[in-house]
């Protein structure tokens, strides 16, 4: 029992999420494995990701230098989740039309009871609830002399709390697919 209690917080912290990887080749990617890495903005989070990207690239056989002809540009994005209720429950409707003095037609309607849409005394049918979780996205673009050669991006629904924590696991699969076209490849985000 004690082992189970000790393991539970660790298992919760190691929750696995799913992500999706996509990539497109625009022009043939040179055989050179010498690149420079540049973030789209130099926020503290992106500087941490830049160091991780450099580490992963070097571990996979790339040489990272400051001024290489091939530039790997990266950008992160947070997409806030949303919630919506597709149902319509109107308690008060206001309508006005016309445009002159004394010619305005105004109307107010209080919905006391409507069995379909709900009202003051009836909740009605309700609608379909749509929930979209928070998503993180990491984009990598390989350029040569300002021309895009390849672009890859990974997205994941995550509960990790920061874009750095969510983006780090996406780096390896993206680097593995530099120079390849990939469509909706599932990736695991630890």
3-state secondary structure of 83: strand
Q: Check pLDDT > 60 for residue 167.
A: yes
Whole-Å CA distances, 71 to 34, 120, 126, 139: 9, 62, 52, 13
Total-model pTM: 0.63
The span from the CA of 101 to the CA of 139, in Å, is 58
The answer to whether 54 and 26 have CB atoms below 8 angstroms apart is: no
Span 18-50, pLDDT tens digits: 788 999 999 998 988 899 999 988 888 889 889
């Amino acid at each position: 029992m004690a082992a189970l209690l000790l393991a539970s917080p660790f298992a919760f912290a190691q929750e696995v999420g799913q992500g999706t990887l996509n990539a497109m080749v625009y022009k043939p990617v040179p055989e050179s494995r010498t690149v420079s890495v540049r973030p789209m903005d130099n926020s503290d989070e992106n500087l941490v990701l830049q160091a991780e990207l450099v580490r992963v690239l070097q571990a996979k056989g790339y040489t990272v230098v400051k001024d290489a002809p091939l530039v790997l540009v990266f950008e992160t994005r947070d997409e806030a989740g949303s919630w919506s209720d597709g149902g319509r429950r109107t308690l008060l409707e206001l309508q006005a039309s016309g445009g002159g003095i004394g010619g305005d037609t105004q109307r107010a309607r209080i919905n006391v009871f409507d069995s379909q849409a709900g009202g003051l005394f009836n909740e009605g049918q309700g609608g379909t609830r749509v929930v979209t979780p928070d998503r993180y996205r990491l984009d990598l673009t390989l350029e040569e002399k300002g021309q895009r050669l390849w672009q890859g991006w990974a997205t994941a629904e995550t509960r990790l709390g920061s874009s750095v924590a969510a983006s780090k696991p996406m780096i390896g699969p993206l680097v593995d697919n530099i120079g390849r076209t990939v469509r909706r490849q599932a990736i695991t985000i630890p």
